[in-house]
Amino acid sequence: MADNLSDTLKKLKITAADRTDDSLEGCLDCLLQALTQNNMETSEKIQGSGILQVFASLLIPQSSCTAKVANIIAEIAKNEFMRIPCVDAGLISPLVQLLNSKDQEVLLQTGRALGNICYDSHEGRSAVDQAGGAQIVVDHLRSLCSKTDPASEKLLTVFCGMLMNYSNENDSLQAQLINMGVIPTLVKLLGIHCQNAALTEMCLVAFGNLAELESSKEQFASTNIAEELVKLFKKQIEHDKREMVFEVLAPLAENDAIKLQLVESGLVECLLEIVQQKVDSDKEEDIAELKTASDLMVLLLLGDESMQRLFEGGKGSVFQRVLSWIPSNNHQLQLAGALAIANFARNDGNCIHMVDNGIVEKLMDLLDRHVEDGNVTVQHAALSALRNLAIPVVNKAKMLSAGVTEAVLKFLKSEMPPVQFKLLGTLRMLIDAQAEAAEQLGKNVKLVERLVEWCEAKDHAGVMGESNRLLSALIRHSKSKDVIKTIVQSGGIKHLVTMATSEHVIMQNEALVALALIAALELGTAEKDLESAQLVQILHRLLADERSAPEIKYNSMVLICALMGSEPLHKEVQDLAFLDVVSKLRSHENKSVAQQASLTEQRLAVES
């Protein structure tokens, strides 16, 4: 065969120059046969023979051999090492010209050749881009879209595949296709050709490609993609096929408008059915599908409108079904159930309804099952739900009397930052304006010591921030001397002083208010710690800094006045010439700041 092939290649060079179609055709058939028998070896021979440049001259619309030449190029471009040589031999421009042909076989083989050259090849894509190939193919898709004869469907499949290879994992080429309006055409294709498995699959892969791009979501939202995908999803029996639809649904469902369309198209019912079918199976693919379906369900609930539509005033069958996941024995369903509740708990009305209807007890039972060696993701999700439910004022007392703080405190020993973070947030929400609960927690030495420890969790900014905020909240909401003493004894003062320098105004403010209460109620107890934490110097900096927010300046001055009752701190205030800084603030544009500056100035003048 090798000799035969060498002879064929030599003969091809000569006949190509003469353009004698009959003998040319024989040579091309011979090459195609050799490629069928051993594609790689034949391709290497073709590359070594220098015949690729000859192919460029054979790619002419009038010739009867054109389709065969394009077919040979499509075959050799299946090999990665042949793609750049095809570009270098100048094959792209004549191939793109052939996309204007009226001959279906020429179009088919040209689409294959360009698609294979583009596969995983930056050079191939770039050359097709420069030659303007994508636009011609998009136009073909548009004009062929409604034709359902087998030849047209085959051509559509090849063109979809070509665009997919052209734009795969390349944001700028994907954006180019989106600007050419390919999305509505592909959605229409999917609707018309849903019986054709190969074409449907190509459309799905193309959607998966494009859906990752943010700019595509708006275009998708203006089509009936949701309806088409749900229709297709309902038809799929095989796991692999459903998986393909899932891979398109997930990125699309990140868009709120599409979330709502998917809910209206009945996706949720399909997902709930899958959960029901797969919940007791221990087959690997069923477990994976259960996870995908329940995750997607949770994602749909992240949209405000789609969530409210499914909540249906707490009477919705979907909401009820999700509730039944929480007591389930399946960890994935427990997780999805708790996350779904956290998503339903995004407005006061829903939260109040759920607390009144016993959701808190269900979540506490779930947490109880995960205290010892529990599942961290389930712990995190259940705490997230409780935190959200604790936001409305009317829910706080109900949740406190239901024993939520005790349930949450069981996780105080957790070493997992995500769990620590949610635990802190839940406690902070619960004690907001609840003096008794704040006092009870603030006198809990174990809790306060753990908070002080977490205030130093430099690797976990979220945990560190939440610990500081809870320390401050315990003081602000309890206004209790005992709480302050517990925090002083546990070494918490220095953290509150550091918190006053936070980059977040809300945290600075919370710290300053807590420190002012400490100074008003227990200055003697905290005096040493305030001094060693250099509070006075920090307050001077905050007042002198023009970037400090008005409320920060105001509360810093209130705190300065409160500190005057301590001799050592009073001395520090005098040494730092606070009068100069404060007198400048009398003309501050904020009236409260200006008034407080006058009062503070008088106080400083009297005390000096």
Torsion, Cα of 481, 483, 485, 488 (10° steps) = -130
Does 477 share its domain with 540? no
Query: Does 1 score more than 70 pLDDT?
Result: no
Count of residues making up the chain: 608
Answer yes or no: are the C-beta atoms of 192 and 184 closer than 8 Å: no
**Residue 47: burial class (beta carbons within 10 Å; 0-12, 13-18, 19+):** middle
Q: What is the pLDDT of residue 22?
A: 67
**Residue 217 token pair:** 């979501």
* String of DSSP letters for 257-285: HHHHHHHHTTHHHHHHHHHHHHTT---HH
- Residue range 522-540: mean pLDDT, rounded: 94
Answer yes or no: are the C-beta atoms of 448 and 442 closer than 8 Å: yes
The separation between CA 66 and the C-alpha centre of its own chain, rounded to angstroms, equals 48
269 within a domain of the structure (yes/no): no
Does 143 share its domain with 236? yes
Phi-psi region of 389 (alpha: psi -120 to 50; beta: other; left: phi over 0): alpha
**Residue 89 token pair:** 């031999």
Rounded to an integer, what distance in angstroms lies between the CA atom of residue 391 and that of residue 425?
A: 10
Query: pLDDT-derived band of residue 3, with 50, 70 and 90 as boundaries?
Result: low
**Residue 375: burial class (beta carbons within 10 Å; 0-12, 13-18, 19+):** middle
Of 364, 338, 339, 342, whose CA–CA distance to 351 is shortest? 342
Does 512 share its domain with 595? no
Does 126 share its domain with 148? no
Does 472 share its domain with 591? no
**Residue 309 token pair:** 């539509």
Does 464 share its domain with 510? yes
Please give the single-letter amino acid code of residue 368. Answer: D
Query: pLDDT-derived band of residue 57, with 50, 70 and 90 as boundaries?
Result: confident
Within a 10 A sphere around the Cβ of 578, how many other Cβ atoms? Answer: 22
Q: What is the pLDDT of residue 16?
A: 65
Does 66 share its domain with 149? no
Query: pLDDT-derived band of residue 383, with 50, 70 and 90 as boundaries?
Result: very high
C-alpha distances in angstroms, 583 versus 99, 554, 561, 596? 80, 13, 14, 10
344 within a domain of the structure (yes/no): no
Query: CB neighbours of 591 closer than 8 A, spacing ≥ 6?
Result: none
C-alpha distances in angstroms, 100 versus 106, 111, 128, 132, 236? 10, 11, 14, 12, 37
Query: pLDDT-derived band of residue 420, with 50, 70 and 90 as boundaries?
Result: very high
What b/e readout covers 163-197, taking b as 16+ CB neighbours within 10 angstroms? bbbbbbebeebbbbbbebebbbbbbbbbbbbeebe
Q: Could you give the percent of the chain with pLDDT greater than 90?
A: 73
C-alpha distances in angstroms, 111 versus 65, 82, 157, 222? 16, 17, 10, 29
Long-range contacts of 3-11 (CB under 8 A, 24+ apart): 4/30, 4/34, 5/30, 5/31, 5/34, 5/42, 5/45, 6/45, 6/49, 8/34, 9/45, 9/46, 9/49, 9/51
Answer yes or no: are the C-beta atoms of 279 and 256 closer than 8 Å: no
Answer yes or no: are the C-beta atoms of 73 and 81 closer than 8 Å: no
- Residue range 573-584: mean pLDDT, rounded: 87
Does 146 share its domain with 247? yes
501 within a domain of the structure (yes/no): yes
The model's pLDDT over 485-498, given as tens digits with 9 standing for 90+, comes to 999 999 999 999 99
- Residue range 568-597: mean pLDDT, rounded: 90
Supply the pTM of this predicted model. Answer: 0.81
Please give the single-letter amino acid code of residue 205. Answer: V
Query: Does 2 score more than 70 pLDDT?
Result: no
Which of 262, 290, 309 is the last residue before a domain boundary? 262
- Residue range 465-490: mean pLDDT, rounded: 96
Does 46 share its domain with 102? yes
Rounded to an integer, what distance in angstroms lies between the CA atom of residue 555 and that of residue 593?
A: 9
Which of 473, 495, 522 is the last residue before a domain boundary? 522
The model's pLDDT over 237-291, given as tens digits with 9 standing for 90+, comes to 788 888 889 989 999 999 999 999 999 999 999 999 999 999 988 899 889 999 9
Q: What is the pLDDT of residue 553?
A: 95
- Residue range 129-135: mean pLDDT, rounded: 95
**Residue 389 token pair:** 């439910």
Q: What is the pLDDT of residue 241?
A: 84
- Residue range 153-180: mean pLDDT, rounded: 94
**Helix 267-278 × helix 256-264 angle, to 10°:** 70
Rounded to an integer, what distance in angstroms lies between the CA atom of residue 329 and that of residue 369?
A: 10
**Residue 341 token pair:** 């509740």
The conformation of residue 500, written as its DSSP 8-state character, comes to T
Average pLDDT, the chain: 91
Domain, as residue range, for 588: 534-607
414 within a domain of the structure (yes/no): no
Q: Could you give the percent of the chain with pLDDT greater than 70?
A: 98
Phi-psi region of 236 (alpha: psi -120 to 50; beta: other; left: phi over 0): beta
- Which residue matches tokens 């995004």? 346
Residue 100 sits in a domain whose CATH number is 1.25.10.10
**Residue 388: burial class (beta carbons within 10 Å; 0-12, 13-18, 19+):** buried
Torsion, Cα of 207, 212, 215, 218 (10° steps) = 60
363 within a domain of the structure (yes/no): no
**Residue 246 token pair:** 């899932």
Does 176 share its domain with 207? yes
- Which residue matches tokens 């000569």? 14
Which of 235, 262, 289 is the last residue before a domain boundary? 262
Q: What angle do CA 360, 364, 367 make, to 5 degrees?
A: 140
How many DSSP H helices and E strands does the chain contain?
Answer: 40, 0
Query: Does 329 score more than 60 pLDDT?
Result: yes
The model's pLDDT over 311-321, given as tens digits with 9 standing for 90+, comes to 988 888 889 99
Rounded to an integer, what distance in angstroms lies between the CA atom of residue 81 and that of residue 119?
A: 12
124 within a domain of the structure (yes/no): yes
Query: CB neighbours of 143 closer than 8 A, spacing ≥ 6?
Result: none
In sign, the C-alpha dihedral spanning 146, 149, 155, 160 is positive
458 within a domain of the structure (yes/no): yes
The number of distinct structural domains making up the chain is 4
Does 146 share its domain with 109? no
Comparing 22 with 143, which gets the higher pLDDT? 143
282 within a domain of the structure (yes/no): no
Does 127 share its domain with 152? no
